[in-house]
Structures are given as C-alpha cells and as structure tokens.
Chain A
Amino acid sequence: MQRFKEKSVRYFFMVCGLLSIVILFGIFYLLLNSSFPAISKVGIKAFFAEGYWNPTAFSGPQYSIWNLIKGTFMVGAGSLIIAVPLGVACAAYLAEIASTREREIFKPIIEILAGIPSVVLGFFGLVVVAPLLSRLFNIPTGINALNGSILVGIMALPTVITIAEDAISSVPQNYKHASLALGATRWQTLRKVILPAALSGIIAASMLGMGRAIGETMTVLMATGNALANPSSFLDSVRTLSANIAIEMGEVPMGSVHFHSLFFVGLVLFLITFVINLIADLIFQHYREGA
C-alpha cells in the first residue's frame, strides 16, 4: 500500500512535469505549422526585406518585420536600463542593509508591484507618464519608446529584485567577514566583494527581466504609439512584435496570408524569448555551480 502510494504520487508529479513540456512543444509546433503557409507564400526574404510591416496597405501588402524587431529590442533594452540598476540596488538593500522588520514590510509591497494589471500600467503611461515626458524633453508628445521602456521597466522590477536578492544572499558570509576584517567599509565590501561575487546571478536576473519585457503586450501597446516607421531614437514611436499581433489578430480574416504572417511574427517572438531565457538559464546554472 505504502509503495503503491509512493509510486502513484511519483507518477502524478511526473505527469505534471511532462505536461508543461508537451504544452511547450505543442505551441512550438502550432506556431511553426501555422506560419508555414505565410513562409511559402510571402517568403522568408520578404519578412526580412527592407521596408515596413503593412499587410493592409493601400498600395499592396508589405511584410517586413525589421522595424518591429528593432522596436521590441528597444523597449526590452530600455526597460533593462531602468530596471537593473534600480532592481540591483533594491536587492542589495534588502539582502545586506535592511533590518528584518524593514524587509518584512518591503518584500510584500514589491510582490504587489508584480500584480498590477498591465492594462492599468498602460493607462498610467498614457495619462501620467506621457505628459511628463513631453514636458521633460520638450517634445510634442510622450507616447514613445521611452514611455514603454519605463513602464515595462517597472513591470520587470519584481523579477529582477527577487532573483538578484537571491544571488546576493547566497554569497558566502566568509567573503563579507573577511572584507570587513581587512578594514573595508560596508560600501566598499558591497561594491567590491559582494556584488562581483553575485554577478552571474545578477546577469541571470537581468536576462529573465528582459524575457519578461520582450513579451509584454498591453502596456507597450498603449504607451508607445505603435507607428510602423523605423525608430531613430527612444523619443520616437515604436511598434513591438507582441503589440503588432495584439492589434491585428482580432480583425484578420482567418486563413489569409496576413493571418499566417501574424503566426510567423509570433514564431519570431517565441524564438527571441526562448533564446534569452536559455541564456539566462545557462548563466544561472553557472552561478549555482560557482557558488
């Protein structure tokens, strides 16, 4: 009886684990299968040719996704520039400086930040951040890539803080004690000893934050203006891969070339986040083994 129970529990958990793998491959297969008609009709070349994404253009469809990829990476990278310094500083504070009581107050609040619906953040971007940016940079409108980056940076913060804090906490106490014993101040210890020792974990945190940022849709859709042009700076409007799918999926005639092209856009997005998460995972493993 006992053994049977052990076994059934074992299989139950194994099935749960397998399920996620099956779902992953299922989605990958679906994306590949559904984007195949677009690849054969439009051609890979047309997707990566110079030009714009505009399948419903007056003068005939165009399918170039370069500007969408560029927009996606701009918002992704921009959000990291905002989230990583803030996130690491916050993690260092939580792991090294804050008292237990302070930590007990801060951590749940940071978790609440992760729970803000993205549409609410997008609305916040449209009515609060946009006018602020336009005044700050003296530009006509703040609906641009920077706005999206700030908002997605806020969304990525909890991910970065949680993983970076984990990395900082797992730096052996001996390092810290040795540094302090040699006469280094707490600031010197943090900057020269603890943060370098936790570096691979911090990089992994950043990459996971980036993976989160690149897939984010609703906030970006509302805050960046979604123009199709090639953006030349963060003060230009951009359209991301995910926003593009969200905008067009609702109205596209099922089975059309446009429909299948959107699956191709989804496939590209999937591959980008997959590679980023893979890199994060490799770095993460490295740091686990190193520590």
Chain B
Amino acid sequence: MKKKGIILLSAVLLLVVSLVFAGCSQPNGEGGTQAPDSGNEQAEQPNDQVQQTAMIQIRGSDSEVNLVQRLAEEFMNENSNVQIAVTGGGSGVGISAIIDGTVDIANSSRVMKDEEIEQAKANGIDPVPVRFSVDGIAVIVNENNPVNELTVDELGVIYRGEVGNWSEVGGEDKKINLYGRQSNSGTYVFFMESVLKGDYSPEMRNMGGNADIVEAVSSDETGVGYVAIGYTMEEGSVRPGIKVLNVAKDSNTSAITPLELDNILNGAYPITRPLYQFIKGQPEGAIKDFIDFEISERGQQIVLEQGFYPLRAEDIEANNNSLQ
C-alpha cells in the first residue's frame, strides 16, 4: 500500500514538473518570429519540390476574411504544397500582428498609419502594401424602411449623432438606431475619416463584425449600418431583410447604388476603397505566388463572384509602384 502511495506521489510530482516546464517553454515558441520565419524559409524553396509544404499565415480585416479564405482555397486546390491559414479579428488586429511579425500577410481595409509603419520598421519589418480588390462600403437599412437614398453629408450628420430621427432625412417619424463597427475595424476607421470627418455618436452600437451588423439591421426597422459590399449579397441577390441605400456625393448629384460594377470602377459611388494586404517585405516564394494569383484574371474573377469588385487602373498602378 505504502509503495503504491509513493509511486502515485512521484507520478503527480513528475506531472506537475513537466507541466511547469511545458508552460515555460511555450511562450518562447509562440512569442518570437519562429513560426512565420519557418514559413518564409520554406516559401523560398522553389515550387516543384513537392514534398516541402509552405505555410502562409494571414490575419486581419473582417471585411476581407471570407474573400481571402475563398481565394486561398482556390489557390490551395492548385498548389497542394502550400498551406494557407486565414483568420479575422479586424484590420487593426492584422496590422498589429504584422508589426510584431507573427503573420506573413496582414489583411487590412485601411492603409497603415505612419506611426504603425515606424513601429514595424523598428522591429525590422518593412510592410509592402498590395491592393487585391475594391470595396464599395454599402449603407444598409431594414427592408421596411421607406428611405432609399442618402447623401454623404446626411450620413455624416446621422453617424455623428446630430440628426436622430428618420423624418429629418426623408423617412418616417422614428428614432435612428446606429450600428457600426469597433475601433479595431478598418471599415470603422475608413468610414470615420472619409464620411464622418468627426466622431461617431456615442449612441452607436459597436458590433463585432460585418455579419453582426447585417443581422442587427435586418431585424431592426429603425436601424442603419455600414458593411463591406460582399456582406450584402447572398447567392447573387441582396440578403433578405436589408436594403442597400443609394448614396450621393452631395445634394447636387444623383444617388448611386454600389451594387453595379460600373459605378465602382468609374468612381461614381462615393464610398469606395481598395482592400489591402500588407506583406513583410517584398513577396517571395509561395507568398509571391499567392499574391500573383489574387491579382491575376482568375483571382479577380473570384473576387467578383464573392460580391467584391476587381482592381481599377489606379490600383494596378499603385501595385506596380509598391511591388518590384
């Protein structure tokens, strides 16, 4: 009996000690640049080495996550030696991950701020921006809302909280419920800087992602939200429960829908933005292959199928400038 007790005790002690050591060694493995580095090393291997599997870690924008996931799946179908992991979290999360060097590619629906680029450079990382798609930020309301169009100025006053009732912008006499994203979102920042040019109303509900906003607005008759264009569509038509508003640049121009390709390509829809990926330095190996695939004709076709828009001439030019 006694012996058994001692064996049991030493087993428990051994377990505890090994757990403590496991706990100590884990952060070292994760915190450093090891994982992505190994991805890069392998990425530098030529593609015809079938046995070598390259890992690409992508993190960031919630607006881009589904689209990039789809592109990655197609790419992996043709390149079985490349593994791509795509996760969301928001543009801010992706950008802080590339600053820390824990991912290979950061998805971001906004450009990096100067201080963010400086921080990355301080860590020895030179982020290269690539545009791979174009998004028209869709302003959505409930399908039962009689309002069909708004100007950019009206959107500004609504989201700054200066106007609180739909009747003031041509709707019914109902309080406006604002839905927006959280500060980790690139869409939040882009909308704030290009439409509001001021602070969001503190009454705005800060939702976790595009899908949450669509879900909330489809069940709230007084709600208004803004989402990436790809989230308004489901199998070729606008999702049930919501309506995509036409938006006018100002009160002198006519309101324009973001749902038509031409309106985005010729810049007529006022809230249009490129979707970015930031890469650690110039792309090489598998990462370069993936980027090339995204901006190829095939990749841009997938972009269109996912409800987003292909690159314009100005985007291609910007890519030519940043990629060597």
State the Cβ distance, A137 to closest chain B Cβ, in Å. Answer: 13
Q: Does A215 contact B (CB under 8 A)?
A: no
| A141 to chain B: closest residue by CB | B220
Q: Does B24 contact A (CB under 8 A)?
A: no
* 0 or 1 for each of B303-324: is its CB under 8 Å from A? (1 = yes): 0000000000000000000000
State the Cβ distance, A251 to closest chain B Cβ, in Å. Answer: 3
Residues of A within 8 A of B78 (CB): none
Contact A225:B206 (CB < 8 A) given known A58-B198, A59-B198, A250-B89 = yes
Interface size counted on chain B using CB atoms at 8 A? 44
From the candidates B96, B175, B221, B222, name the one contacting A251 in the complex (CB within 8 A): B96
Q: Does A252 contact B (CB under 8 A)?
A: yes
Residues of A within 8 A of B182 (CB): 226, 247-248
Q: Does B119 contact A (CB under 8 A)?
A: yes
From the candidates A9, A58, A248, name the one contacting B192 in the complex (CB within 8 A): A58
Residues of B within 8 A of A58 (CB): 192-193, 196-199
Name the interface size band of chain A. 35 or more
Q: Does A163 contact B (CB under 8 A)?
A: no
Contact A141:B177 (CB < 8 A) given known A54-B199, A250-B89 = yes
Q: Does B9 contact A (CB under 8 A)?
A: yes
| B206 to chain A: closest residue by CB | A226
A248 to B182, CA, bound (A): 8
- The interface-forming segment of A99-107, A124-132, A151-159, A272-280 is A124-132
A127 to B212, CA, bound (A): 10
* 0 or 1 for each of B185-205: is its CB under 8 Å from A? (1 = yes): 000010011001111011111
Q: Does B223 contact A (CB under 8 A)?
A: yes
A251 to B100, CA, bound (A): 11
Q: Does A229 contact B (CB under 8 A)?
A: yes
Q: Does B162 contact A (CB under 8 A)?
A: no
A248 in contact with B206 (CB, 8 Å)? no
A12 in contact with B13 (CB, 8 Å)? yes
State the Cβ distance, B310 to closest chain A Cβ, in Å. Answer: 28
| A56 to chain B: closest residue by CB | B183
Q: Does B219 contact A (CB under 8 A)?
A: yes
Q: Does A134 contact B (CB under 8 A)?
A: yes
Residues of B within 8 A of A239 (CB): 206
Q: Does A52 contact B (CB under 8 A)?
A: yes
| A8 to chain B: closest residue by CB | B9
State the Cβ distance, B113 to closest chain A Cβ, in Å. Answer: 9
Residues of A within 8 A of B206 (CB): 225-228, 239, 247
| A67 to chain B: closest residue by CB | B202
Q: Using a Cβ cutoff of 8 Å, how many contacts connect chains A and B?
A: 97
Q: Does A5 contact B (CB under 8 A)?
A: yes
A226 in contact with B184 (CB, 8 Å)? no
Contact A251:B215 (CB < 8 A) given known A226-B205, A228-B202 = no
A9 to B207, CA, bound (A): 52
Interface residues of B in 72-102 (CB under 8 A from A): 89-93, 95-96, 99-100
Residues of B within 8 A of A167 (CB): none
Could you say which of B13, B91, B116, B203 has the most chain A C-beta atoms within 10 Å of its C-beta?
Answer: B203
Interface residues of A in 244-279 (CB under 8 A from B): 247-248, 250-254
A251 in contact with B193 (CB, 8 Å)? no
Residues of B within 8 A of A228 (CB): 202, 204, 206
A38 to B269, CA, bound (A): 42
Could you say which of A59, A131, A141 has the most chain B C-beta atoms within 10 Å of its C-beta?
Answer: A141
From the candidates B115, B177, B212, B221, name the one contacting A253 in the complex (CB within 8 A): B115
A251 in contact with B204 (CB, 8 Å)? no
B93 in contact with A130 (CB, 8 Å)? no
Interface residues of B in 162-192 (CB under 8 A from A): 174-175, 177, 182-184, 189, 192
A248 in contact with B184 (CB, 8 Å)? yes
Interface residues of A in 225-239 (CB under 8 A from B): 225-230, 237, 239
A5 in contact with B6 (CB, 8 Å)? yes
From the candidates A126, A222, A253, name the one contacting B116 in the complex (CB within 8 A): A253
Interface residues of B in 210-262 (CB under 8 A from A): 212, 215-216, 219-223
- Given A141-B216, A229-B201, A254-B100, 18 more pairs with CB closer than 8 A: A52-B202, A57-B199, A58-B192, A58-B199, A126-B212, A126-B215, A130-B219, A134-B220, A141-B219, A143-B216, A225-B205, A226-B207, A227-B206, A247-B184, A250-B89, A250-B93, A250-B184, A252-B92
The 10 closest A-B pairs by CB, nearest first: A251-B92, A225-B205, A229-B202, A251-B184, A226-B206, A228-B202, A141-B220, A250-B93, A140-B222, A229-B203
Task: Report 23 cross-chain contacts, Cβ distance below 8 Å, ordered by A residue.
Answer: A54-B199, A58-B197, A130-B216, A130-B219, A140-B174, A141-B223, A143-B216, A222-B208, A225-B206, A226-B182, A227-B203, A228-B202, A228-B204, A228-B206, A229-B201, A237-B205, A239-B206, A248-B183, A250-B90, A251-B95, A251-B183, A252-B96, A253-B119
